[in-house]
Amino acid sequence: MSSEYLILQLPSANRVYAEDAPRLMRAELAAFSEAVGGIADIDDVELGGLRYVRFTTPELTEQRLALLSNASSLYGLFERVQPDLLRPVRIRPLDKFDSDLLTIQKYSGKTNEQFTRLLLNVTCLAMAEPLAMLRRPLHVLDPLCGRGTTLNQAMMYGFDATGVELLERDFEAYERFIKTWLRTKRFKHTAESGQLRRQKHKLGRRLDITYAPTKEEFKAGRSRTLSFRATDTLHVDEIFGRHAFDVIVTDAPYGVQHGSRQSGELQRSPRDLLAAAVPVWTRVLKPGGALGISWNDLVLPRAELLDILSRAGLKPREGAPYEQFAHRVDHAIVRDLVVATKPA
């Protein structure tokens, strides 16, 4: 006999995704179920005037609970013991830090942090080892990282994080933010920044941080790394070499207010940028690793992006739930996501 569980979503999820929040949560749960199995009957219910996302499972094993606890818009989890009686379940998210790491920065062009978590989750689950995210610190690259929403989410999970962004002003803003945050929280860290060079050519700027939540962890070598390179994403393979990352997660330029930039100029459409960059990113991805991209469906049809991924030797996930994440952001953007695995 299966038990029934209800998820209350973060109130902010409804503001961000309007009517789409429960649908996106259902698709995310279905992706969890593909990885760990045994999550069924996913739908919505209304109880006491609130909407919940519902699922059933034969057993809420440690592993299922550990995964579900990270669902991107989960606020509370309850077991439904009687039709109108709920028992709270203590969740165990991977989160290592206060949520202000994700929410302090506010700027135009920021990718919504809940959506970033969703994209990171679904991408990690697409790895050849889908539960790797629960087992070890992964190394995440965001090769179009803006001011670092993905980097912060990767830090939250206790992962190593590397970002690449062309705009020096984003690099500077992120450097200011993260150094202040680490200092304010009194986390033991070292930070090094300078020019990024390759065979005597200046490629841009670099920032390398090593940090740990406590002095003891820092001393014991249980520290994490955070790196940022202000340069063109097409240099990623020269800079990092092959097989450097477990997971690559990025929110591509929408081709609307935030252009796709090459050599500092607005030249490329997201299509041209992704066609040039995906093969480069694929080289730095470990075999068995996964790439997740969100993009504006109105400027690049899904089929074309799948083609770019396949030509780079990746295996895009097709069918449900991977084709159920499209949602409208504004009149000019319908954001969708795609995940693809690099054969092991």
Ligand X SMILES: C[S@@+](CC[C@H](N)C(=O)[O-])C[C@H]1O[C@@H](n2cnc3c(N)ncnc32)[C@H](O)[C@@H]1O
Min dist. Cβ of residue 34 to ligand X (A)? 25
Which residue in the block uniquely carries the two structure tokens 């506010």? 106
Q: What contacts 1, CB < 8 A, 6 or more positions away?
A: 58
* SS3 of residue 267 by DSSP: strand
Output 22 or 146, the one with its CB closest to ligand X: 146
Output 163 or 289, the one with its CB closest to ligand X: 163
Output 9 or 260, the one with its CB closest to ligand X: 260
Output 33 or 296, the one with its CB closest to ligand X: 296
What residue is closest to ligand X based on CB? 146
Min dist. Cβ of residue 199 to ligand X (A)? 20
Render 202-235 in DSSP notation, one character per residue: EEEEEEEEEEESSHHHHHTT--EEEEEEES-GGG
Min dist. Cβ of residue 225 to ligand X (A)? 19
User: Which positions lie near ligand X, rule CB under 6 A?
Assistant: 109-111, 144-147, 149-150, 164-167, 170, 232-233, 251, 253, 258, 260-262, 273
Min dist. Cβ of residue 148 to ligand X (A)? 6
Output 232 or 297, the one with its CB closest to ligand X: 232
Nearest to 57 by CA among 42, 43, 46: 42
Output 14 or 269, the one with its CB closest to ligand X: 269
Structure tokens that stand for 12 in this block: 């902010």
Min dist. Cβ of residue 242 to ligand X (A)? 20
Alpha helices in the chain, H assignment, sequence order:
11-17, 21-36, 62-68, 100-103, 113-125, 132-135, 149-156, 168-184, 215-219, 236-240, 270-284, 302-311
Give Cα 278 distance to the centre of its chain: 17
Long-range contacts made by residues 308-314, C-beta under 8 angstroms, separation at least 24? 308/274, 308/275, 308/278, 309/278, 309/338, 309/340, 311/279, 312/278, 312/279, 312/281, 312/282, 313/282, 313/342, 313/343, 314/278, 314/282, 314/340, 314/341, 314/342
Min dist. Cβ of residue 145 to ligand X (A)? 6
Output 77 or 144, the one with its CB closest to ligand X: 144
Min dist. Cβ of residue 84 to ligand X (A)? 41
